Amino acid sequence: MISKATIDKVFDAIRVEEVIGDFVQLKKSGSNYKGLSPFTDEKTPSFMVSPVKQIWKDFSSGKGGNAVAFIMEHEHFTYPEAIKYLAKKYGIEVEETEATDEQKQQASERESMYLVSEYAQKYFEENLWNTELGKAIGLSYFKERGFNDDTIKKFGLGYSLDQWEAFTRTAMDDGYQLEFLEKTGLTIVKEERKFDRFKGRVMFPIHSMSGRVLGFGGRILTNDKKAAKYLNSPESDIYHKSKVLYGIYQAKQAIAKEDNCYLVEGYTDVIQFHQSGIHNVVSSSGTALTAEQIRLINRLTKNITVLFDGDAAGLRASLRGIDLILEEGMNVKVCTFPEGEDPDSFAKNNAYEDLVLYLEENAKDFIQFKASLLMQEAKNDPIKRAEVINDIVRSIAKIPNNIQREVYVQECSKIMDISEEVLFNTLAQLGRKELRAASRKERQERKAFEVLRPEQQQKVEKVDRLSVLEHSLIKSLLLNGSKQEDFEDLALKLNDDGEMVLEPEQVSMKVFQKMYLDLQQDEIAFANQDFQELFNILVERYNRDDSLDMKAMINELTPSVASKVTDILMNEERYELHDWERKNIYPKVKDIEVAQQVSDTILNLRCYLIERKVLDLQTQTSENKNDSNGEILGEIRDYYRLRMLLSKKLRRVLN
C-alpha cells in the first residue's frame, strides 16, 4: 500500500501537460494544448489538455481524466503503478508497506508478466556487474563496443549466464511462477525440461514509452552457426514487436524537443548515438518498419530522418519503409553513411560536432535520395529511367496532403528533367486505379450486407432521456453550483374551484441549494450511481467552501466518476481543435440563463418520473382485477393533471 502522504505529494507535484507531453507532441491552442490521440489512429488532432483544469480529453475515443488516469489508460497501469511512475518522474520517494503474499497472488496476469520482466532485467544487470563471468564476458563485450559505464547503466544492459537454467531456477526460488516465466518467453518449457531462452547472451531490455520492460533482445557472443546472432522475446500480452521501438523511452523528450527523430536499425546504433550526445534516436529492432511504429513517433514529431549504412542492397529494400512513413503523413529525410560504415561505427569514430555536421549536410529529402539511388541502377537506359520516375511518383501518391504532394511533384520535375504535366497525369492515373480498386472492394463488402434477416438487423439505440437530464443537472452543478441566482419556484396549490394549480414564487439562492432542495422534496435520486456519487460530493464541497477546487476534487474521484467530470468540463474545448476562429468561423455558444436552465431541467426530470409512475400504475391495473383499481385510477388522473401543469410551465405540447 502506498501511503496517503506520498499520494498527496504526487498530486501536488504533477502537471498534466508535462506528464502527457512525454507521450504526445502537444501544441498550444489558446489556453489549452492539443495533439494527436494516443489511443486511436488519426491524422488531425482530437486530443485536448487543459493546464488550468489539470485534465485531458480525447474526443476520438471518449477517454479523459487527470494525469494519473492518462498513465493508467496509456500504459495499462494499476492505480498504485501509475502513482509510482509519477513519483519517480518528479523525484518523490514512495512510502509503502510490503505487499502480502495474498496481494501478490491477486495481481493480474498482465501485471505479473510486467513484474517478471522487470525482475529479469535487474537479474541480468546484476550478472553483468557483479559476477565474474558477467564482467569477463558481457561487460568486456560492451566495453569493446565503446560503451562507457554510464551508458550501459542508462539502457539497463545485462548478461545471461551460459547455463541452461540459471535464470529460471533463481527466479522460481525468488517466488516467480513458471507460468509467467514461460508466457514472457524468458523460459522455454518442453515436457519436463525447462531452460533459459537467452543463455549465454548479452541482454538489451526493450522498454515501453513510459519505461516498463516489455521484452528483451539478446546477442550471442560465440561463433555458433546454428544459433541466431540476435534473439528477441516472443510475442506476448505485453510485447508486440511491431508496436515497439527500441530506445523510445530514453529518446521521447529529445524527439519532442528537437522536433525530429533519427531512425536506425540496431540496438547498438541507438546506444552509440546516445553516448555521442544525440538522444533523439530509436530503432525498429531489426524488424521491418511498421505503421504502428511510425505512429508512435508521430505522437512526438512529424519529422523522421532515416539513417542507413552504405550497403546498397539494404538501401533498396528499405525504400518500402519510406513509403510507409509518407503514407502516415510525415516528413521524411534519408542519410547514408560512407561505404563500410554504419551509424554505430560512424558515431563511435567521430566527435559530436562532426557527427551533427555530417547529419545536417548529408540528410537528403526522400525524392533526392530515391532519385540518386535508383538512377545509379538505371544509368542511361530510358526504360529503366521511366521505371524510376514511376517509382518516385508512386511514393508521392502515398502523401495524404495535397499541397505537399504538389511541391514534391515540382521537385521531382526538376530532378528528373520531366514536365510537371506528365507527372500530374501519372498521379491522376494512379488515383483512378486506387479508386477503382476501392470501388471493387466496396462492392464485394456490400454484397454481404444486402439482405439481413430480422434477427440480424441491429436495433437503433434510443436516447436515454433520464441519462441526458441527469447529465445536464450535474453539468450545471459543476459549472455554476456556487452562483447566486433568482429562481421562479413553483408551489402546487388548490384554487377557489378546488383545482390544482402551480403558483410562481420568486426565490434567491445558490444553484446547488436549489437543486438539493428540489430533489430532496421530490425524493429523487440519480439512476446513474456515478452521478449520484458526484452530486453528493459537490453539494458537500459547496456547503463547505465558497468555490470549487476542481483539481483537488478530480484527484480524489474514482476513475469512472472523474471521466464523467472531464467529459463535462472539456466539452466546450472541442471547438479549439479545429481552429475555427482562424478560418473566420465563430461557433455559437448556447446562451441561456443559469436559473432557467436549472429550473427547466428539474421540471423535465419531474415530468419524466411522472410518466414512469403512470406507466407503473397502469401496469398494476392490468395485472390486478380488484376493488383497489378505482383508487389507482384516481391516482393516475392526479398524476396526469400534474404532468399537464408542468408541461404547460415548460411550454411543451403533450403527445
Number of domains in the chain: 3
- DSSP H or E run through 445: helix 420-447
Residue 378 has pLDDT above 70, yes or no: yes
Cβ-proximal residues to 135 (8 Å cutoff; 6+ apart), any chain: 128, 129
What are the beta bridge partners of residue 55?
A: 50
**Where residue 648 falls among pLDDT bands split at 50, 70, 90?**
low
Boundaries of domain holding 165? 101-239
* 115 and 68 assigned to the same domain: no
| CATH code of 156's domain | 3.90.980.10
In angstroms, the first-to-last Cα distance of the chain is 57
DSSP 353-413: HHHHHHHHHH-EEHHHHHHHHHHHHHTT-HHHHHHHHHHHHHHHHT---HHHHHHHHHHHH
Query: Are both 52 and 160 inside the same structural domain?
Result: no
Q: Does residue 168 lie within any of the structural domains?
A: yes
- 68, 181: one domain: no
Instruction: Identify whether residues 532 and 614 lie together within a single domain.
Output: yes
Side chain identity, residue 597: Q
Residue 186 located in a structural domain:
yes
In this structure, is residue 497 part of a structural domain? yes
Burial class (CB in 10 A: 0-12, 13-18, 19+), 424: middle
Question: In this structure, is the dihedral angle defined by the CA atoms of residues 292, 297, 301 and 304, taken in order, positive or negative?
Answer: negative
Q: Residue 125 domain-assigned?
A: yes
89, 123, 144 - which closes a domain: 89
At 409, which amino acid appears?
V
- Backbone torsions φ then ψ of 285, nearest 5 degrees: 60, 35
* Residue 66 and residue 21 share a domain: yes
533 and 622 together in one domain:
yes
Kindly state whether residue 352 falls inside one of the protein's structural domains: no
Residue in this structure with the C-alpha cell 513510459, named with its chain if needed: 210
Residue 255 lies inside a defined structural domain of this protein: no
At 110, which amino acid appears? Answer: R
- Let me know if residue 585 belongs to a domain: no
77 and 165 co-located in one domain:
no
pLDDT in tens, 294-323: 999 998 999 999 998 766 555 666 677 888
59 and 135 within one domain = no
The dihedral built from the CA positions of residue 173, 179, 184 and 188, taken in this order, carries a sign that is positive
Lowest mean pLDDT: which of 39-48, 79-88, 529-538, 611-620?
Answer: 611-620
219 closest CA partner among 307, 270, 285, 277: 285
The one-letter amino acid at 552: A
Over residues 495-518, mean pLDDT = 74
pLDDT tens-digit readout, 115-151: 999 999 999 999 999 999 999 999 999 999 999 999 9
d(CA 14, CA 9): 9
CA 610, chain centre distance (Å): 43
Name which of 1-15, 83-97, 302-316, 391-405 the model is least confident about.
302-316
Kindly state whether residues 113 and 81 are assigned to the same domain: no
Q: What does the alpha-carbon distance between residue 83 and residue 16 come to, in Å, rounded to a whole number?
A: 13
Q: What angle do CA 565, 74, 561 make, to 5 degrees?
A: 20
Round to whole Å and give the CA distance between 400 and 413.
Answer: 19
Torsion angle, alpha carbons of 159, 165, 167, 170, to 10: -140
Are 232 and 163 part of one and the same domain?
A: yes
The stretch 406-432 carries a mean pLDDT of 86
Task: Judge if 77 and 146 occupy the same domain.
Answer: no
Q: Could you say which of 89, 118, 143 is where a domain stops?
A: 89
8 Å CB contact between 35 and 24: yes
Instruction: Assess if residue 526 is contained within a domain.
Output: yes
What CATH number has the domain bearing residue 76?
3.90.580.10
| Domain termination site, one of 59, 89, 119 | 89
In sequence order, what are the beta bridge partners of 334?
Answer: 306, 364
User: Are residue 198 and residue 174 in the same domain, yes or no?
Assistant: yes
